[in-house]
Structures are given as C-alpha cells and as structure tokens.
C-alpha cells in the first residue's frame, strides 16, 4: 500500500485532533491488522463521529415507533421518511440540524442546512414543495447573538428563495442557554408518486458509480467531526470546516436528478452531506451489502492538487453519488450536460465489501465497509434520571401585578411578539400551492391538482424538557398533534431533530434517554410514528450545555382542503368554547418566566387519553362544519391563545370571569395541556355540545367575540389597535 509522504506521521496528538479516542484508535488497528494511513484515519474519524455514526444514541433511537400505519419505509432505511397520502401519492420529509456550522458562519451554515435537507428529499424521487425551520438563539442583548439571528435568517431566505421552494412556517425562540450555540433545524417536505420513488441502496456488482453536480473543493473538510465537539473561544478557527452553498447549482441539480429519475435508469442515489464522498459511498455500499472502489483522480475538482484525504472528506455542496442501470450512461450524461453539471464515472461497485481508494493507479486506502457503517462503535453511555420537582410556587408571595400588565409584558416579549419581519424575508407563496402560511398553528400546502392538502408543524419546549424530560418529550409530540388538529388535519407521522449537550455527561445523557421515553410513549399512544430524524449532540459553548431541545416536525393530512381552518376569529358574537379541563398549572409557565423570571417546578402533566379524545372530537366538529376557528392552548395559557386569535383577525373577545377557579392568574395563564379554544356560531352550539358530551369531552363556554377590543370585565380592556401595537413593540425597539 502506498503511503503519501506529504501526509504527517500519525501520532497520539493527530489521533486526538481527528476526534478519536485511544480505545477507538486501537479498534481501528485491530480491524485493519495494521496502522491506518492518514487517509484511512480521516475516513474513520468522520464515519465514527457522533454526527455520522450516532454511536451514543442509536440504541435508544431504535426504541421509537418507526413502522406501521401509512409508512412506506421504516425510519432510517432511506434518506428521508416516506408516508402514504392515498391516490398513489406519498410525501417524503425530514428535519436535520446545522447548528455547529451556523454558530461559526451563520449565513453559509444556515444556507447549506437548507440545501442539505432539500437533497435528502429529492434523492427519494420527491419534488420538494415546502420548507420549514426551527431556530433558537441566545439573548439578543448580546451583539453576537443578534449577528447570528440576522445572518441565519438571511441564509435560509436566500437559499430557499433562489431554489424556488416556499418556506411556509417555523418557530424562532430566544433563550439564554443558546448563546453562542444557536439551533438551526431545517425541514423539507416533498411529493412523489408511489412508483417513482428512488432508493439509496446500492445494487449489483461492477456497476459504475457517478459523481454528479458541482465540483469538489476544500470547503467543509472535517465538518462532521466539528459537529461532534463543544465550542470554545477558538470558534473562529473552525470557519474552514463550514461548507459554502450555491442555491443556483442546487436548483439545476434538483431538476437534472428529477428528470433522470423519470426514465427509471437510477439504481440508487445518495446525497453528499456530512463527510461528503466518504459517507455517501459507504452508506450506499453498506445498505446494499457491497463493496465500492473509487478512482479519486477522476473526481472533478475545482481546486488544484487536491489530495485523496481532501477529496474524501470535503463537504462541498450540491453533489450526488449515483449508480445507473447498465447502458444508461449516455442519456444521463446528456441530461447533466443540458443542466451544465459535472457527470463523471469515479468508481464501481464490487463484491469485496471493502471501501477501496485508488489515486494515480495506487491504492491509498482499503477499509471494510461494515467497520465504517454497521459495525461502527456503539456506546451505552451512563445516564441518570431527572427527579421530578414537587415544588409549587406560592403566588401570594410574588409581587402583585394586574392581568393586563402581565399580558402586555408577554405579548411584547421576544418570544411572543410578532415575527413577521423574519417570515417576510421568506418567499412563502412560490409554486402557488401554499394554502396557509406561517402564523397559524400549522402551515398548509396544497397537493397540486388535488383536493387534498398537507399540514406541517414544528415545535419544541426546552424549558419543559429541562424540568422533566419524560413529560417534556410527551408534551412536544402532543403540542405538534394539537397544532395539526387545529387546522383540520389528521396527524399521520413525525420527524425529529434531537438537540442536546455533551452525551459524555451522564445528566445530559439522562435528559436524552428520558426525552425519548416521553416521545416514544406519546407517539405510540397517538399512533403518530417517527419516519426520520437526526441527533445533534455536543451543543454548548465553553462547557455550558444547552437545554435539552428535541424538535418535532409533524405532518397531517387534510382530505378535503375546503375544510381547512385557522385560528383567526371570523364573526362578531360567536361563542367561544374551551375544550379540556383547566387546573391552573403555572410552574414552567410563560407567565413565571417573562413576568417573574422564575423557571422552577414541574411542567404540566400530560394525559394522553384526553389528548387523543379531545383532538379527535375537534376534528369531528371541523369535519361537520360546526367550527369557525380553532386554536390550541399552549404557552401562555388561555389568555395568550385568545389574544393570538384576536391579533390575527378583525375581532376581539369578551371573556367572562370563571365561576369555579380560585385564582384568575392560574385560570388564564395556566398551561394545562390537551386544550383547544373554538369559535362556534350560536345556532351550531347545541349540536357541537351534544357531540362533545356524547363522547365525554369536557367543554365550557368562556365568552364571545366582539368588535373593537379584547376584554376581561373588571380586569382588562385593550383596543385591538393597541393590542397590535403591543405585539409589534419588541421588533420596533430591537
């Protein structure tokens, strides 16, 4: 075997710099029965990184419900999840993180995050039709965090707008724990016919392997390894590990691939994301139980004198690896030439079950495929359970404040103020199928030329998960469920992006394990399976970990788009009906956080039976045309939900004081789960109440809609124009 002299001699420091432990390096030597060369060391380092191997999480991830129902492939089998929509159509969707790159270089990090998730979807044969995102930043009183927010949003907007895929919704959360380490989770959903889906599984021996798309450069080398480390003050030194995106090339690549897929010439296709050519070739071969041989001097490069190490670890964007049916090369080349993209044979499949690398007719690396994929290290990390706090904060001991004052403070805070200045940067209407954009409980995208539509929502609650991870995990799933129900969609499946701190810390690993327990329990009970996902560990700065933040991206099906609904009040003098019981849970509430700076105590309990029954009955009412508007009750409780319904409409509300509650703050700001607010016309109320009563669903009339103002008699009365002004205050001061 040839050893390139230009590479440094491997020593303990170089092994450490590659993110490998002493024990892992010993395993590598045992696998190879020799010392690895520098190229092989680099390949092991990225494939055994947390980002690629999921070595700390894979055991627990396998416990999630990942099959059944409408799922057409089990989670993890392909680049994205695939779910049946009926009418011979399916949706492919996935959410992934690009946290670490965005912390270093926010514009390119966020942009390439969008590009990567788009490729995951169209490699399935699905045309992307919608993007979403979940974004989290530290306090905006710190200039660096402002810089990150502005340029992340800019990167997402520019990339999505240029490719021509609408960004139809998402969330932006500000929390101190994300300072210096923002969370940038990108979500894409696409549509494909059943018989036009494409696999990432390599098949056949001796089939040529093609690299298509953009040329390979030196950007992004060791990006996967970088994403498996906690940041420190030397973050600026990591800029070369961040990929550089080109949305115009992405658009060309997408159209070329989708065109080629139409003639059934593709055996398998794999996006080049983290770890670049290394991961794409290894994953294709591993799934197909094959070997793969690459001739690296045939890789189209945009920079001179690139080495095998650089080519294998480069994360240059807008590239794909394709295996074609024999004899289809000429037609494929014509397509890629038409779209002005590279198309080069760089290798072939083999029966060796090895990754074999050649350069200038010399073997520069040879590694068993299984050692890099299915037999990569798997760790059973130590973890401890979080004790559920029983502490209840005594409202009587807190500073007295008026309900109006508390509401104003919440609605003008960064997390509850109007964020249209962000979403307005996204093209939400391109392709003309956006039926409901950001600002509602869930966004809705029409299935082109069909009466059906898909509802999508992304959510998380780091505070709940920090307080009690099991309950927090359940809550996120349920919140997503309610968001989909609230627009008239039947929830069918989720994708997840699990953002956590250092898994080597047993407390952090405990948060991860227990969040998954909660997610699993809720998904199983609600028949809401996990189709795809991503784990992002080592999120933190200067040894300070972020809060546990699992993000759920849910998908729901609306069989008749004419029955979609939103949370805007529609008429004057409609009845406002609350579904679900109110107990007045304030621990971990927005009221305590924003008004009193208190984040103590347990999160609200989750009753899965009530969640399921209440949601099904709301869908029943919507289907029977008995409801004008719906909004789930979540952060901020009843009063914030009602305010949001008023803010999105031309009508306010007159809310009656509850008769059987001991404290108005508990009633109006409590965050008890499983609740919805419904607007119902007076002449339809009796029929709606009968359905609810017959199905033993608790409900109570809490007020009516009115013109002009938002009112709680004797406690608050706010003109709608003033309410709008309050809700826009933060941005104008920002």
Strand partners, 349: 292
**Other beta carbons within 10 Å of 9:** 9
> Which of these is catalytic: 51, 222, 585, 631?
51
d(CA 526, CA 542): 39
> Active site includes 18?
no
Place of tokens 């789960």: 673
Residues 39, 312 contacting (CB under 8 angstroms): yes
Instruction: Please give the structure tokens belonging to residue 722.
Output: 């003033």
> Active site includes 222?
no
Q: Give the C-alpha distances (Å, rounded to integers) separating 97 from 101, 224, 349, 458.
A: 9, 12, 31, 13
Instruction: Please give the structure tokens belonging to residue 589.
Output: 């509430």
d(CA 706, CA 530): 42
φ/ψ of 292, rounded to 5, equals -145, 135
Instruction: Please give the structure tokens belonging to residue 142.
Output: 């710190």
> Which of these is catalytic: 98, 151, 468, 585?
98
Q: Give the C-alpha distances (Å, rounded to integers) separating 697 from 561, 604, 625.
A: 26, 19, 18
3-state secondary structure 530-578: EEEEEEECCCEECCEECCCEEEEEEEEEECCHHHCCCCCCCCCCCEEEE
Helices (H), 56-141: 58-61, 99-104, 106-122
Instruction: Please give the structure tokens belonging to residue 222.
Output: 């060791």
Length of the chain: 734
DSSP readout, 177-202? Answer: GGTTS-EEEEEEEEEEEGGG------
Residues 425, 157 contacting (CB under 8 angstroms): yes
Q: Give SS3 for 645.
A: helix
d(CA 584, CA 246): 50
Q: Give SS3 for 220.
A: coil
Which residues are catalytic, by number? Answer: 51, 98
């Amino acid at each position: 075997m040839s050893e390139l002299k230009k590479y440094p001699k491997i020593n303990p420091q170089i092994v450490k710099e590659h993110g490998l432990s002493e024990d892992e390096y010993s395993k590598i030597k045992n696998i190879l029965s020799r010392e690895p060369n520098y190229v092989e060391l680099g390949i092991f380092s990225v494939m055994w990184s947390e980002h690629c191997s999921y070595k700390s999480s894979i055991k627990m991830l396998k416990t999630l419900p990942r099959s059944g129902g409408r799922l057409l492939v089990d989670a993890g089998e392909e680049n994205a999840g695939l779910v049946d929509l009926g009418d011979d159509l399916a949706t492919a969707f996935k959410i992934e993180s690009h946290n670490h790159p965005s912390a270093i270089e926010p514009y390119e990090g966020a942009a390439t995050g969008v590009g990567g998730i788009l490729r995951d979807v169209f490699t399935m044969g699905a045309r992307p039709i919608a993007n979403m995102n979940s974004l989290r930043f530290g306090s905006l009183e710190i200039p660096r965090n402002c810089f990150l927010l502005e340029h992340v949003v800019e990167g997402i907007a520019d990339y999505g707008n240029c490719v021509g895929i609408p960004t139809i919704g998402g969330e932006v959360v500000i929390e101190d724990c994300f300072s210096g380490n923002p969370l940038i989770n990108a979500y894409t959903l696409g549509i494909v016919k059943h018989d036009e889906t494409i696999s990432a599984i390599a098949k056949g021996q001796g089939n040529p392997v093609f690299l298509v798309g953009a040329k390979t450069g030196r950007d992004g080398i060791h990006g996967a390894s970088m994403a498996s480390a906690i940041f420190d003050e030397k973050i600026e030194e990591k800029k070369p590990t961040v990929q550089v995106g080109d949305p115009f090339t992405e658009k060309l690549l997408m159209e070329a691939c989708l065109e080629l897929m139409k003639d059934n010439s593709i055996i398998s296709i794999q996006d080049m994301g983290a770890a670049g050519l290394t991961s794409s070739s290894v994953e294709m071969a591993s799934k197909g139980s094959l070997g793969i041989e690459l001739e690296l001097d045939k890789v189209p490069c945009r920079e001179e004198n690139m080495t095998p190490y650089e080519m294998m670890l480069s994360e240059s964007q807008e590239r794909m690896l394709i295996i074609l049916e024999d004899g289809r090369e000429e037609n494929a080349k014509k397509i890629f030439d038409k779209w002005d993209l590279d198309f080069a044979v760089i290798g072939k499949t083999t029966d060796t079950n090895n990754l074999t690398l050649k350069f200038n007719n010399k073997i520069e690396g040879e590694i068993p495929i299984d050692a890099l994929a299915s037999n990569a290290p798997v760790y059973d990390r130590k973890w401890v359970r979080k004790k559920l706090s029983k502490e209840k904060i005594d409202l009587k001991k807190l500073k007295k404040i008026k309900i109006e004052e508390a509401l104003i403070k919440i609605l003008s805070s960064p997390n509850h103020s109007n964020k249209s200045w962000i979403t307005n940067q996204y093209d939400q209407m391109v392709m003309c199928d956006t039926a409901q954009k950001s600002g509602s409980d869930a966004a809705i995208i029409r299935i082109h030329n069909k009466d059906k539509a898909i509802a999508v929502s992304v959510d998380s609650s780091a505070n709940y998960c920090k307080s009690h991870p099991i309950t927090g995990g359940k809550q996120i799933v349920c919140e997503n469920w309610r968001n989909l129900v609230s627009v008239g969609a039947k929830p069918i499946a989720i994708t997840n992006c699990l953002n956590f701190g250092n898994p080597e810390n047993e407390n952090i690993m405990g948060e991860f394990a227990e969040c998954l327990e909660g997610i699993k329990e809720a998904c199983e009970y609600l028949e809401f399976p996990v189709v795809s996902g991503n784990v992002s560990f080592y999120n933190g700065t200067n040894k300070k970990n972020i809060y546990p933040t699992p993000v759920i991206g849910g998908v729901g099906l609306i069989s008749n788009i004419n029955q979609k609904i939103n949370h805007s009040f529609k008429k004057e003098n409609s009845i406002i009906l609350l579904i679900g019981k109110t107990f007045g849970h304030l621990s971990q509430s927005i009221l305590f956080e924003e008004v009193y700076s208190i984040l103590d105590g347990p999160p609200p309990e989750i009753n899965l039976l009530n969640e399921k029954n209440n949601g099904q009955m709301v869908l029943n009412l919507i289907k029977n045309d008995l409801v004008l508007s719906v909004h789930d009750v979540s952060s901020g409780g009843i009063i914030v939900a009602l305010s949001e319904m008023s803010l999105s409409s031309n009508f306010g509300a007159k809310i009656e004081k509850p008769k059987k509650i001991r404290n108005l703050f508990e009633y109006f700001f409590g965050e008890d789960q499983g609740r919805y607010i419904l607007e119902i016309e007076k002449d339809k109320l009796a029929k709606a109440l009968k359905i609810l009563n017959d199905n033993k669903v608790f409900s109570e009339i809490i007020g009516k809609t009115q013109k002009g103002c938002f009112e709680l008699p004797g406690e608050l009365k706010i003109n709608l124009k003033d309410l709008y002004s309050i809700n826009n205050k933060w941005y104008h001061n920002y």
